[in-house]
Structure 1
Amino acid sequence: MSSYRIVVVGCGSMANAWVKNVMEREHAEVVALVDIKAEFAQAMADRHGLTCAVFTDVAQAIKETGANLVLDITIPSSHFQVCTTALQHGCDVFGEKPMAATMAEAREIVDIAEQTGRSLSVMQNRRYDANIRALRGLIDAGTIGRVGYVGADFFLAPHFGGFRDAMESPLILDMAIHTFDQARLIIGADPVSVYCHEFNPPGSWYAGNASAICIYEMSDGSVFCYRGSWCAEGAPTTWEAAWRVTGEHGTAIWDGLGTPYAEIVAPGDQAGKFVRDHKRVEADVTWPGRSGHAGCLDEMFAALREGRRAETDCRDNIKSMAMVLGALESAKSGRKIDLRAYWR
């Protein structure tokens, strides 16, 4: 008998990586596939050689298969219904970001998770990378001292076509949560307030605002500045963004691809120097985990086995979601938004 009897909800292309991953795990069995179109679920079963049942209703799939884990790989507007149904039927949930479409829905999901004793863990795959863990290690070790500023630059020009081109706020709604969540991981702090200016620059092929500058006050007293664009042709950053973290003793740098490093004030007497001497400190890249989706799923399954909350549990991830929806409210209102009421 498998430890995890899994129902996969949402059988679009994104679900393929999830299904392949769980099929490779011991003590995990896909017992049902669910989609609003049964033929999509059956196509997924055929693609992966699964003989499980297919359904169009989540509750029915759980009841008839005795499932205890649901993978929610649906569109964001469906997350609330799928997740709450699964939690109320005794299942834990692993879901795609964002955890819900609104803060009200997100808070209700957290409440239901508390009431049922079950959990929702959210796919934040960009946390799971040896280099970002090494950058966090530099900060945690006090290498640069107390953090005062965190900057992330995200400049790419993907020509997706399809729904993103028509979205009102494609960058912030569809992508920025990754970078916002990374910032929280790197410095170990939560958002307090945000001011956001969102715009659509010349040459953009998006109908909505594809660029933004966001300034966050964080709970450790630092300031996080996000500068991003999804229509920036030339000189692209990586999808992991380019990072600068400045502290009282120096600065940590990560280009989103290579090994992070810090430059700190060199030891010795430097009194009277207009520009002080610095020394370079290489980050220790020793994190043993897997990267991306696989690493995030490893953490989710480990949390279930160990009876603890996953790193991306909904009760934590709601703070990253607040950064997204708070930024949109600020952009629309032209005001700085207090985020503490969003997630507390």
Structure 2
Amino acid sequence: MTPGTASGTVSGDVNRPLRVLQVGAGGMGRGWLRTLLAYDQVELVGVADLDVARAKEALEQAGAGDVATGPTIEALADQVQPDFVVDVTIPEAHHPVTMEALRRGLPVLGEKPLAANLAESLELTAAAQAYDRLFMVSQSRRYDANLFAYRRQLRQLGRLGILTAEFFKAPHFGGFRDAMDHPLVLDMAIHAFDSARFLLEADPVAVYCEEYNPGWSWYAGDAAATAIFEFGGGLRYVYTGSWCSPGQETSWNAAWRASGEHGTALWDGDGPPTLEIVEGGETAPEGDTPEADPHPGIAGSLREFVAALRTGTTPMGTARDNVASLAMVYAAIESARDGRRVLVADVLEEAYAQAKARAQGPVLDVLTGWTSLTPPG
């Protein structure tokens, strides 16, 4: 059951701007429109949204009123001949939109979450492998130069014992988040969970989580949580967060502390991280050439995706990788619901069985052929 990585690249003249069809023209979709239009390596050729009038309005506001619009990929793909799709739809639409694009041989850059649940996420991961097309999730908060610098510092601490992330904000969103069952863990904590995997360069094996809701919370579901993730070698990652904590708010990237055998590294989520190596300790070598600092946010996701399509390299946000971050979310939710320590592998196995029960054709063939479901790295 080992998930594979799609290797399909664009054909033809790779020096031309790549033609992109965006699906979804809501609030986040408008941000993507601005990002796509500002990048000279892509050409926006179409916007699909079930509300075509909304798509037209978004394009007019972005100064691109001549771009084709339609309700669906099916209605536009043959007309505009895209090289890839950007999926900025609501989570419930990620599966049908991405599956349709992959079936048509179109690579996909999607917004998080990968899909509305873990079973659909595994099915889409298998579909990318079955149709040999890249499916990448824009985990945009990874694209931060300070996060990269922080990871380089962690490599200098020797053996790590604990990594903590504290997240305290008080946004009044209105809309669907206010009614969600797990607004913090499901909609926001995945950013910190994904960053922890990136920083530790490893995947957790188990989690114990408690969700709760302060009495003054304006959310229907639990808007606060503490999760303790167990990694190999005794390492722990502890996340504590709240979406109803006004005053002295943290960064949207959380506030981080890492403790290792040689010292401690801190990052406030916004500025440069700091490192203290204790007297007498050895500064451990970083062991490799530091990564180039990325372009920030969704623009960084887009650039890495386009580079992968042109060169066949594997970006860090493939579905194969991102499903492990999403598995942390669902393992934490299950732990909070049942009040017990949960193995991440067990959550993935259950989702895998559900994915096989719903998949068909070549996607089912790929799922059946996987030989391991340890969280993909």
Taking structure 1 as the reference length, what is the TM-score of the superposition? 0.91
* 1:30 alignment counterpart: 44
- The offset of 1:3, in angstroms, is 4.2
> Which structure has the highest strand share of the two?
1
AA partner of residue 104 (structure 1)? A
Aligned pair 1:190/2:195, yes or no? Answer: no
Query: For structure 2, which runs of at least 5 residues remain unmatched after alignment?
Result: 1-12, 284-289, 349-372
CA distances 1:159-183 after superposition (whole Å, capped 9, x unpaired) = 1222211111110111000011111
* 1:84 alignment counterpart: 99
AA partner of residue 122 (structure 2)? R
Aligned pair 1:291/2:296, yes or no? Answer: yes
* 2:138 alignment counterpart: 123
Q: Distance in 2 between matches of 1:327 and 1:81?
A: 26
> Contact (CA 8 Å) 2:148, 2:293: kept in 1 or not?
no
1:339 to 334, 340, 344: 344
Structural mapping, 1:144-183, within 5 Å: 144-183=157-196
* 1:134 alignment counterpart: 149
Q: Distance in 2 between matches of 1:131 and 1:57?
A: 38
> Contact (CA 8 Å) 1:238, 1:255: kept in 2 or not?
yes
SS at match of 2:275: strand
2:333 to 328, 334, 344: 328
2:76 to 61, 77, 84: 61
* 1:263 alignment counterpart: 276
Q: Distance in 2 between matches of 1:172 and 1:286?
A: 29
Q: Distance in 2 between matches of 1:116 and 1:318?
A: 18
CA distances 1:294-333 after superposition (whole Å, capped 9, x unpaired) = 1222212122122122111100000111111111111111
SS at match of 2:230: strand
- The offset of 1:50, in angstroms, is 3.5
> Contact (CA 8 Å) 1:59, 1:89: kept in 2 or not?
no
* 2:313 alignment counterpart: 308
1:202 to 209, 212, 215: 215
- The offset of 1:259, in angstroms, is 1.8
> Contact (CA 8 Å) 1:130, 1:286: kept in 2 or not?
no
AA partner of residue 36 (structure 1)? L
- RMSD (Å) for aligned C-alpha atoms: 2.0
* 1:274 alignment counterpart: none
> Contact (CA 8 Å) 2:137, 2:318: kept in 1 or not?
yes
Q: Distance in 2 between matches of 1:31 and 1:13?
A: 19
- The offset of 1:25, in angstroms, is 2.4
Give aligned-pair identity as a percent.
43
Q: Distance in 2 between matches of 1:191 and 1:62?
A: 40
Q: Which has the higher contact order (CA 8 A, sep 6+)?
A: 2
User: Judging changes above 3 Å, is the alpha-carbon distance between structure 1 residues 119 and 137 closer, same or farther for their aligned structure 2 residues?
Assistant: same
Aligned pair 1:40/2:72, yes or no? Answer: no
> Contact (CA 8 Å) 2:87, 2:98: kept in 1 or not?
yes
